Amino acid sequence: MNKLLKYKSISFFFLLVILLSSCSKKPDNKENSSFKFKDIYVEQADKNGIKQFTFKTKKAKINELDKSIKAKDSLVIFFQSNKPTYKLTSNTSNLTGNGEKILLDSGIEMISLLNDDFSIKAERIIWLKELAQATVDGNIIAKIKGSRFLAKKAIYNHKKNIVKFTGIDEYNYSNLHNKAKISIQAENALWNGDINTITFTNNESKVLTKIFIYN
């Protein structure tokens, strides 16, 4: 069954109910009433009508009772001022509460659509509409502007377009053109997507930097 679903905040599941009424279903019982769809498209905007993200998937299961969506091979595009900024892909995903919460799980990759040298790999991302932020965790590997490091956790602030990493480990920067390698010991890193800069900080001590220059 092919359906195109599109919503803006609260109106989404009203539209969803209409579409579901035209579909046949064979639920196992009253507590397990669900439908399977293909080619689903979801759009979410804030209270001012500014687009926050779009969600696409080729295959999904929709629960009629709690209006949740479980999908595979999902694609999420975040927007800033109605312009696409970040692309997220995942093996599985779950939308609940009228899109108030989105869980992207397994095989996560987040890349910048404005910067060729920005990518994050992780195991899980949780988006909360109320806070306009996404929490990233699980074996985070970040590659940003020649830098590569591991992190325990990251917070993407959608309003400010920044990503804050905590629990930084194994940082290194390599520039083969200048024959230099930089190693930094820091606890936190802050990526500012508006000006394409990354800043490293420690909670109590100074950031330790080592620069290696090769002949």
Asked if the structure places residue 151 within a domain, the reply is: yes
Q: How many helices (H) and strands (E) does the chain have?
A: 1, 14
- Both 101 and 156 in one domain: the answer is no
> Contact, 121 vs 136, CB < 8 A?
no
Q: Tell me the average pLDDT across 149-154.
A: 95
- Both 68 and 40 in one domain: the answer is yes
- Both 101 and 11 in one domain: the answer is yes
Asked if the structure places residue 119 within a domain, the reply is: no
- In this structure, the number of other CB atoms found within 10 A of the CB of residue 35 comes to 19
| % of the chain residues with pLDDT over 90 | 32
In this prediction, residue 66 carries a pLDDT of: 76
- Both 145 and 104 in one domain: the answer is no
DSSP SS3 for 115: coil
Asked if the structure places residue 158 within a domain, the reply is: yes
pTM above 0.85, yes or no: no
Query: Distance between CA atoms of 8 and 3, rounded to whole angstroms?
Result: 17
Domain end position, chosen among 114, 149, 180: 114
Query: Distance between CA atoms of 80 and 70, rounded to whole angstroms?
Result: 26
N- to C-terminal Cα separation, the chain: 63
- Both 93 and 163 in one domain: the answer is no
Domain end position, chosen among 114, 144, 164: 114
- Both 206 and 173 in one domain: the answer is yes
Which two tokens mark 19?
Answer: 């579409």
Q: Residue 109's domain is classified under what CATH number?
A: 2.60.450
Q: Tell me the average pLDDT across 155-184.
A: 82
Asked if the structure places residue 51 within a domain, the reply is: yes
Radius of gyration of the chain (CA): 20
Q: How far is CA 21 from CA 5, 34, 86, 94, 166, in A?
A: 14, 12, 35, 22, 46
Its domain, for residue 59, covers 1-23+32-114
Judged against a pLDDT cut of 80, whether residue 49 lies above it is answered with yes
Question: What does the H/E/C string look like for 31-90?
Answer: CCCEEEEEEEEEEEECCCCCEEEEEEEEEEEEECCCCEEEEEEEEEEEEECCEEEEEEEE
> Largest alpha-carbon pair distance within the chain?
73
**Does 14 or 88 have the greater pLDDT score?**
88
Based on the structure, what is the number of domains in the chain?
2
16-26 pLDDT per residue, tens: 433 443 343 44
- Both 11 and 69 in one domain: the answer is yes
Asked if the structure places residue 124 within a domain, the reply is: no
DSSP SS3 for 17: helix
In this prediction, residue 42 carries a pLDDT of: 84
- Both 10 and 102 in one domain: the answer is yes
76-110 pLDDT per residue, tens: 999 988 899 999 999 999 988 767 889 999 899 99
Asked if the structure places residue 122 within a domain, the reply is: no
In this prediction, residue 123 carries a pLDDT of: 95
**Does 33 or 181 have the greater pLDDT score?**
181
In this prediction, residue 32 carries a pLDDT of: 54
For residue 189, what are the β-bridge partners?
165, 200
Judged against a pLDDT cut of 60, whether residue 161 lies above it is answered with yes
Beta strands 169-175 and 147-157, pairing class? antiparallel
DSSP SS3 for 110: strand
Query: Distance between CA atoms of 116 and 202, rounded to whole angstroms?
Result: 27
